[in-house]
Amino acid sequence: MKRAIPIFVVLAGLLVAIAVANPFFLEPAGFLAFLKRVAPLAILAAGQYFVIVSGEFDLSVGSLVTVEVVVAARLIDGDEAMTWPVLILLVVIGLLVGLVNGLVTTKLRVPSFITTLGAMLILSGAVFLWTGGAPRGALSQGFRVFGREGVWAVAILVVVVIAAVLLMRADFGRTLVAAGDNEKAARLSGVRVDRVRVFAFVLSGLSAAVAGILLGGFAGVSAQVGQSLEFQAITAVVLGGVVLGGGRGHVVAAIAGAFTLEALFTLLNLHGISGALEYAVQGVIIIAAVAVGGLRLPSLRLSPSKV
Amino acid sequence: MRRLLVAVAALALAAAGCASDLPPTGASAQPSAAPATSAAASAPASAGTGAQSDFFVQADYDAQLAMRSQTAEGPADKPWEQAIAPQMVDTAKYKKDGPYHLCFSNAAVNNPWRQVGWTTMQEEVALHKEIKEFTALDAEGKDDKQISDIAELQAKGCDALIISPNTTATLTPAVSGACPEVPVIVFDRGVETDCPVTFIKPIGGYAFGADGAEFLIEKVPAGGKILALRILPGVDVLETRWSAAKVAFDKSQLQVVGVEFTDGDAAKTKSIVSDYIARHGKIDGVWMDAGATAVAAIEAFEDAGVPVPAFVGEDQQDFLQKWKDGNLTAVAPTYPTYQWRTPIIAALKILKGEEVPKMWNLPQPKITQESLGTYLQPNMPLLHYALCGCESMPGFPGKWGGK
């Protein structure tokens, strides 16, 4: 947990900066609005964490989120009665895509970078084919309540965080980290590496389904809803000090990374840095971060403690 | 991929955030990275609208604003056949006997506006028995694909070629290349050549932008705060909308507190509007260059628990429904999808040797409180555009997804 401390310091600093710029942030409604906005990315970061800590990537979550929202809108088409069946279907889609990603990566030995990049392209192409390029239909009010009502979004976020922490404390968590840290050693000591990795991908797919439900609820149907979310999720995870390549990092820190990223976006917006310049600022920060990470990495490798 | 310990950089940024004051209101109005903002005709920046767009052409602006009050020629109940101040050209040299093979190079069907238009065009084709074949290629929003599509269509023995260009400058050579081979009809976005037999479009972006801005100037008291939401910079049809609004706002007593780019994304739109509500406490009017995310912007006010201010949207059903349900103060400038009917009609006129307007300017009505009831069609999908001019077509409403 030690390596997670910097991210909390940064997050606290950003939150103070936001509060200074916008005192409304300190009121319950203001903070709730922030939590509501963070929730989808935080959930995606949790899902991405499982995959990254096991030594893999999941690049498909962004287009999976888009698929979930577009499918939901088309199938619900404004009909309240369809809300729950479609919600269940969305979860199943998320689990299935994760399962396929996991099986292709572990059984067919396709590197996850390629597997999930392929999945990303297949999903975007499928959505394009099915919709003819633009989303159709509408989400029901019953569906939208999860993303629109702050209380719901926050409740779902809390459940996800607790579940993630419990999972990482269970045997699954230890074997997952072991698989990412040293695959051979893990195999020799009896860890079923493939099985935990497949499960990690399934969790990532599930997180994309939940994030899609929240994002669709937040702002309604859109074909761009998932755009670049996979990169935001990976950035968040790495911001939380989780090492790419696996084996090191804490899930709470990864979620804190998502909070930090969203807080940074909020702060930039509050200071009127918007549009294309926002990307430029992000780019500078990311390059700086990689440089800093490169400097830090060797000393991390020497440290004997793992998590 | 990006990442790793943004810690230090972000900390430094956070510290800077604590130390510095917020920029004065309106500073965010400079769309800094936009290629179109290097001040051609610079206006007072005090209105918060930034420099005028490079795309702004005073003569076009004047012409379009004047066209709004001109009466269109042609049947009043069929605005897609009407033309404002037409200058007819002779087409006798294209005359030939039917049946005809019409071809269409479509920029994309990647948004609901284009989907409604595309459906409408196909239904228009179905109305004419003399069209024996209709070949359409979808460029999927890619210039290079459209260039090869246009070349491919020329080899298909088309009697007339309809082109809806993806972008203006890049497609110009392809269109110029097609003109000597086959009568060309361009609609929606333009090209930088007058070789097409006719160019069909509604009045245009200046009129669209001015309609919205003038409404806010009329409805919002002096000193009121306006938030302007744009999709993205550098696209001529969108730049003209904003530049006309800017001219209007600069002359008004309103204060434009922000000009933001939404990428046409509902979630981003909603977040931006929420931030402005938090930052300014009260926003008195929202101007938009396209209405597709208007409902997301309205929801930001609803979710913040504040009254929805004066709004500029478009003729999409979800916005019209919200307008009626919330009893909003709103206006909907339109870029009518009925313009997708006109190219087919024009192609047939040309092949029959009937004269057509060189610049076919279609009427471009705006939906007001008075006409809202006419255009709100609860049986149509939420993403349907009301000005399709398709209500009397045989496939209506099913072909457009209505019930």
Dihedral (CA of A210, A211, A217, A218) sign: positive
Helix (H/G/I), strand (E/B), else coil: B286: strand
Q: Considering only CB atoms, which chain B residues are within 8 Å of A231?
A: 1-2
pLDDT band at B403 (very low <50, low <70, confident <90, very high): confident
Chain-centroid distance, C-alpha B164: 13
CB B287: neighbour CB atoms within 10 A?
A: 26
Contact B4 A24 (CB under 8 A): no
What is the pLDDT averaged over residues B270-283? 87
Q: Considering only CB atoms, which chain A residues are within 8 Å of B31?
A: 275-276
Does A37 touch chain B if contact means CB atoms closer than 8 Å?
yes
pLDDT tens per residue, range B98-140: 899 999 999 998 888 999 999 999 999 999 999 999 999 999 8
Tokens of B54: 């490079």
Tokens of A235: 């950035």
| DSSP per-residue string spanning A230-250 | HHHHHHHHHHTTPPTTSS---
Q: Residue A86 belongs to what H/E stretch? A: helix A83-107
Give the model's pLDDT for residue A145: 92
What is the pLDDT averaged over residues B334-351? 96
| Residue reference for tokens 């390629």 | A114
Closest by alpha carbon to B234, among B143, B169, B294, B291?
B169
- The domain of A192 spans 2-18+29-297
Select the residue of B3, B23, B115 nearest A289 (Cβ to Cβ). B3
Contact B111 A133 (CB under 8 A): yes
Task: Please indicate, yes or no, if residue A305 is contained in any of the structural domains.
Answer: no
The interface predicted TM-score (ipTM) is 0.75
Residue B24 has pLDDT above 70, yes or no: no
pLDDT band at B281 (very low <50, low <70, confident <90, very high): confident
Residue B35 has pLDDT above 50, yes or no: no
Q: Are B197 and B91 in contact (CB under 8 A)?
A: yes
Interface A-B: count of C-beta contacts within 8 A: 204
b/e A73-110 (16+ beta carbons within 10 angstroms → b): bbebbeeeebbeebbebbbebbbebbebbbbbbbeeee
Please tell me which residue of chain B has the smallest CA distance to A144. Answer: B299
CA distances to A9, A118, A123, A211 from B298, rounded to whole Å, are 36, 37, 31, 22
Task: Please indicate, yes or no, if residue A273 is contained in any of the structural domains.
Answer: yes
Task: Please indicate, yes or no, if residue A23 is contained in any of the structural domains.
Answer: no
Minimal CA separation from A188 to chain B, in Å: 31
Residues in contact with B158: Cβ distance below 8 Å, sequence separation at least 6, in sequence order? B101, B102, B103, B135, B182
Contact B233 A13 (CB under 8 A): no
Contact B260 A275 (CB under 8 A): yes
Give the model's pLDDT for residue B1: 39
Residue B29 has pLDDT above 80, yes or no: no
Contact A13 B267 (CB under 8 A): no
pLDDT band at B169 (very low <50, low <70, confident <90, very high): confident
Contact B5 A136 (CB under 8 A): no
User: Cα(B377)–Cα(A175) distance, rounded to whole angstroms?
Assistant: 58
pTM above 0.90, yes or no: no
pLDDT band at B254 (very low <50, low <70, confident <90, very high): very high
Looking at chain B, the whole-number percentage of residues with pLDDT higher than 70 is 88
Class of the CATH domain delimited by B24-54+205-333: alpha beta
Give the model's pLDDT for residue A108: 95
Cα angle, residue B361 at apex, residues B356 and B365 outer, rounded to 5°: 140
Query: What phi and psi, each to the nearest 5 degrees, are found at residue A200?
Result: -60, -45
Give the model's pLDDT for residue A238: 85
Give the model's pLDDT for residue A1: 57
Task: Please indicate, yes or no, if residue A85 is contained in any of the structural domains.
Answer: yes
Q: Are B340 and B304 in contact (CB under 8 A)?
A: no
Q: Read off the CATH number of the domain in which A63 is found.
A: 1.10.3470
Cα dihedral A271, A274, A280, A282 in deg (nearest 10): 70
| DSSP per-residue string spanning B73-117 | BS-TT-GGG-BSS--EE--GGG---SSEEEEEEES---SHHHHHH
Looking at the structure of chain A, the number of domains it has is: 1
Please tell me which residue of chain A has the smallest CA distance to B34. Answer: A276
**B71-204+336-364 homologous superfamily:** Response regulator (3.40.50.2300)
Query: What phi and psi, each to the nearest 5 degrees, are found at residue A67?
Result: -55, -45
Query: What phi and psi, each to the nearest 5 degrees, are found at residue B138?
Result: -100, 120
What residues of chain A, 251 to 290, have a C-beta less than 8 Å from chain B?
A: 260-261, 264, 266-267, 269-277, 280, 282-290
- Of residues A28 and A161, more confidence is placed in A161
Cα dihedral A69, A72, A75, A76 in deg (nearest 10): -120
Q: Residue B256 belongs to what H/E stretch? A: strand B255-261
| Residue reference for tokens 């090492």 | A243
Select the residue of B5, B18, B264 nearest A289 (Cβ to Cβ). B5
pLDDT band at B364 (very low <50, low <70, confident <90, very high): very high
Q: Considering only CB atoms, which chain B residues are within 8 Å of A30?
A: 278
Helix (H/G/I), strand (E/B), else coil: A284: helix
Listed in order, the ranges of chain B carrying CATH 3.40.50.2300 are 24-54+205-333, 71-204+336-364
Helix and strand numbers, DSSP H then E, in chain B? 12, 14
Does B234 touch chain A if contact means CB atoms closer than 8 Å?
no
Give the model's pLDDT for residue B14: 39
Does B278 touch chain A if contact means CB atoms closer than 8 Å?
yes
Tokens of B319: 């916005």
pLDDT, chain B, mean: 87
Residue A299 has pLDDT above 60, yes or no: no
Cα diameter, chain A: 58
Select the residue of B2, B272, B296 nearest A286 (Cβ to Cβ). B2
pLDDT band at A291 (very low <50, low <70, confident <90, very high): low
Give the model's pLDDT for residue B275: 84
Contact A221 B266 (CB under 8 A): yes
Give the model's pLDDT for residue A112: 94
Residue A262 has pLDDT above 70, yes or no: yes
pLDDT tens per residue, range A166-183: 999 999 999 999 999 988
Q: Is the peptide bond before B112 cis (omega within 30 degrees of 0)?
A: no
User: Cα(A118)–Cα(A303) distance, rounded to whole angstroms?
Assistant: 36
Does B10 touch chain A if contact means CB atoms closer than 8 Å?
yes
- Of residues A242 and B197, more confidence is placed in B197
What is the 3-state composition of chain B as percent helix, strand, coil, each rounded to the nearest 5? 40, 15, 40
Tokens of B303: 């979710």
Sheet of strand B131-138, all strands in order from the earlier edge strand to the far edge:
B131-138, B100-106, B160-164, B184-187, B198-202, B359-362
pLDDT, chain A, mean: 86
User: Cα(B389)–Cα(B146) distance, rounded to whole angstroms?
Assistant: 27
Question: What HEC string does A133-168 produce?
Answer: CCCCCCCCHHHHHHHHCHHHHHHHHHHHHHHHHHHH
The CA radius of gyration of chain B, in Å to the nearest whole number, is 22
Dihedral (CA of B338, B339, B344, B346) sign: positive
Tokens of B179: 């003109």
pLDDT band at A22 (very low <50, low <70, confident <90, very high): confident
User: Cα(B218)–Cα(A60) distance, rounded to whole angstroms?
Assistant: 48
Closest by alpha carbon to B201, among B254, B233, B165?
B165
Helix (H/G/I), strand (E/B), else coil: A108: coil
Residue A217 has pLDDT above 80, yes or no: yes
Task: Please indicate, yes or no, if residue A302 is contained in any of the structural domains.
Answer: no
Please provide the distance, in angstroms rounded to a whole number, between the alpha carbons at the two ends of chain A.
Answer: 6
User: Cα(A49)–Cα(A257) distance, rounded to whole angstroms?
Assistant: 11
Contact A29 B18 (CB under 8 A): no
